């Protein structure tokens, strides 16, 4: 289905019926004869099948002289379609955005067709306003406003690359390990299960990254990342894809800065959403060595994340969602050699704050731990040649909490 048709259908099907756990909820009233019925679904396609005049006629007594109102939930944003008594005209309204348009056809079906044509030709500005509003009012918007949205997972990926991964390497005090450990490939599968205002949202993410490491200092590297995500919200699915580039530069052995840029996109036929995003961020990792190889690490990041205009033939729209994000962390690391040789434990707390476009959720905190095994090897090839490399396995668990969302995240890491 083309983008413009998906967006059109999404906008026609939108009205919030509070207290219902389904994502899409339909309520139709025949205010002339008094009949009404309700339907619900967790996919856009499922609810679309129930929104047409033929379906309405099969559920309640109805003729074209009756006054009719159709109210449908599109992830929390109230939108209405109404026909007045003895009128062929349909009124499309989004009360929270002061949007109200009337379409007058030769009959009611023709009026709905005129509404469809208007969105295809002249409705881009309305689409943008509605998509931006959805990020503010919807707990399950795929673009922004919740910890499983595209913006949030991109923020998390940037911070992990610019602080979490760097801080682990900073813990090393060996001169040999400070030299190049060779280029690094990292797989870090993550599962996140959240309750967002009564909606169950599960995400499965596979961040894949490759680092070109400096021969003089293993803390200096150029990193390419390809995060992939699958999100399931009450049975509705969405997919995320990103491509990022970052450069980690040690200012001092204890202090590393990482500027990054990334392109990412999200698509969901079930939720009626498609968008792309660009971002720039700067992360700082500062390590304070303590006695007995214990370490305190301070992580800070500021980033700018903004949707980009998306084109589909002659049709184009940009939700206009732009946010500056601050993410700060404190991590305490200690060796666990008595438990497992070459292992360590990290305890951390992370705070995330969003400013800019209005979002459903603007802040949340994360408390967690990570247990890892790290082995550094040097293979001597000759008197003048040697090859060094590292292997790392890690597993972590964290708890995310906020005013509207709570849940657990399990993550693994494989470095080779």
Burial of 86 (0-12, 13-18, 19+ CB in 10 A): exposed
The CATH number linked to 208 is 2.40.128.130
Domain count, the chain: 2
Q: What is the 8-class DSSP label of residue 358?
A: -
User: Are residues 108 and 154 located together in one domain of the fold?
Assistant: no
Q: Does residue 143 lie in a domain region?
A: no
Apex CA 236: angle with CA 410 and CA 16, to 5°?
Answer: 115
User: Are residues 260 and 373 located together in one domain of the fold?
Assistant: yes
| pLDDT tens digits, one per residue of 134-155 | 999 999 999 999 999 999 999 9
User: Are residues 235 and 379 located together in one domain of the fold?
Assistant: yes
Cα 282 from Cα 287, distance rounded (Å): 17
345, 293 Cβ separation under 8 angstroms: no
Q: What is the 8-class DSSP label of residue 161?
A: I
User: Are residues 180 and 91 located together in one domain of the fold?
Assistant: no
Q: Does residue 137 lie in a domain region?
A: no
User: Are residues 218 and 77 located together in one domain of the fold?
Assistant: no
User: Are residues 97 and 219 located together in one domain of the fold?
Assistant: no
Average pLDDT across the chain, whole number: 85
Q: Does residue 133 lie in a domain region?
A: no
Cα 299 from Cα 248, distance rounded (Å): 14
Question: Could you please report the per-residue DSSP string of 363-414?
Answer: EEEEEEEEEEEEEEEEEE-SSS-EEEEEEEEEEEEEEEE-SSEEEEEEEEEE
97, 130 Cβ separation under 8 angstroms: yes
236, 242 Cβ separation under 8 angstroms: no
Task: Count the helix, strand and coil residues of the chain and give each as a percent rounded to the nearest 5.
Answer: 20, 50, 30
User: Are residues 307 and 400 located together in one domain of the fold?
Assistant: yes
Q: Does residue 77 lie in a domain region?
A: yes
Provide the residue-wise pLDDT of the chain in tens; the chain has 416 residues. 444 444 344 444 433 333 446 888 888 888 888 888 888 888 878 877 776 777 778 888 888 888 888 887 878 888 888 989 999 998 988 889 999 999 999 998 888 888 878 877 777 788 889 899 999 999 999 999 999 999 999 999 999 999 988 887 776 544 445 555 578 888 999 999 999 999 999 999 999 999 999 888 888 999 999 999 999 999 999 999 999 999 999 999 899 999 999 999 999 989 988 899 999 999 999 999 998 889 999 999 999 999 999 886 666 789 999 999 999 999 999 999 888 888 899 999 999 999 999 999 999 999 999 998 877 655 544 455 455 556 788 999 999 999 999 999 999 988 87
User: Are residues 188 and 297 located together in one domain of the fold?
Assistant: yes
User: Are residues 357 and 300 located together in one domain of the fold?
Assistant: yes
Q: Does residue 144 lie in a domain region?
A: no
User: Are residues 217 and 101 located together in one domain of the fold?
Assistant: no
User: Are residues 71 and 212 located together in one domain of the fold?
Assistant: no
Q: Does residue 279 lie in a domain region?
A: yes
Q: Does residue 321 lie in a domain region?
A: yes
Structure confidence at residue 12 (pLDDT): 42
- pTM for the model stands at 0.87
Structure confidence at residue 21 (pLDDT): 60
Show Cβ contacts of residue 353 under 8 Å, excluding neighbours closer than 6 positions: 325, 326, 327, 362, 363
User: Are residues 388 and 347 located together in one domain of the fold?
Assistant: yes
Q: Does residue 130 lie in a domain region?
A: no
Q: Which domain holds residue 166?
A: 150-415
Structure confidence at residue 172 (pLDDT): 58
Give the C-alpha distances (Å, rounded to integers) separating 329 from 145, 164, 343.
21, 9, 22
Length of the chain: 416
| pLDDT tens digits, one per residue of 74-119 | 788 888 889 899 999 989 888 899 999 999 999 988 888 888 788 7
């Amino acid at each position: 289905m083309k983008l413009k048709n998906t967006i059109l259908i999404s906008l026609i099907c939108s009205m919030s019926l509070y207290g219902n756990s389904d994502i899409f909820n339909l309520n139709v009233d025949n205010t002339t004869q008094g009949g009404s019925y309700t339907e619900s679904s967790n996919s856009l396609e499922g609810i679309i099948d129930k929104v047409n005049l033929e379906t309405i006629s099969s559920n309640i007594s109805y003729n074209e002289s009756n006054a009719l109102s159709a109210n449908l939930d599109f992830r929390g944003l109230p939108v209405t379609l109404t026909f007045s008594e003895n009128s062929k005209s349909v009124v499309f309204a989004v009360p929270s955005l002061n949007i109200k348009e009337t379409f007058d056809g030769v009959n009611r079906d023709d009026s709905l067709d005129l509404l469809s044509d208007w969105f295809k030709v002249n409705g881009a500005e309305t689409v943008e306003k509605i998509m931006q509003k959805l990020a503010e009012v919807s707990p399950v918007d795929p673009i922004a406003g919740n910890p499983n949205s595209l913006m949030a997972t991109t923020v998390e990926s940037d911070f992990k690359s610019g602080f979490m991964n760097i801080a682990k390497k900073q813990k090393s005090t060996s001169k040999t390990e400070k030299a190049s450990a060779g280029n690094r490939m990292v797989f870090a599968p993550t599962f996140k299960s959240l309750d967002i205002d009564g909606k169950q949202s599960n995400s499965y993410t596979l961040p894949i990254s490759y680092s070109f490491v400096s021969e003089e200092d293993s803390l200096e590297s150029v990193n390419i990342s390809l995060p992939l995500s699958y999100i399931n919200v009450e049975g509705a699915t969405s997919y995320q894809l990103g491509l990022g580039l970052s450069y980690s530069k040690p200012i001092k052995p204890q202090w590393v800065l990482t500027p990054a840029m990334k392109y990412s996109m999200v698509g969901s036929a079930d939720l009626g959403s498609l968008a792309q995003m660009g971002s720039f961020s700067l992360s700082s990792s500062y390590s304070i060595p303590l006695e007995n190889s214990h370490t305190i690490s301070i992580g800070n990041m500021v980033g700018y994340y903004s949707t980009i205009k998306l084109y589909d033939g002659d049709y184009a729209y940009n939700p206009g969602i732009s946010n500056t994000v601050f993410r700060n962390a404190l991590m305490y690391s200690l060796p666990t050699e008595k438990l497992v040789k070459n292992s360590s434990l990290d305890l951390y707390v992370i705070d995330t704050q969003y400013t800019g476009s209005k979002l459903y959720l603007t802040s949340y905190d994360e408390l967690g731990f990570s247990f890892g095994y790290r082995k550094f090897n040097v293979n001597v090839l000759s008197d003048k040649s040697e090859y060094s490399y590292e292997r790392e396995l890690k597993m972590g668990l964290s708890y995310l909490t906020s005013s509207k969302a709570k849940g657990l995240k399990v993550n693994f890491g494989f470095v080779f």
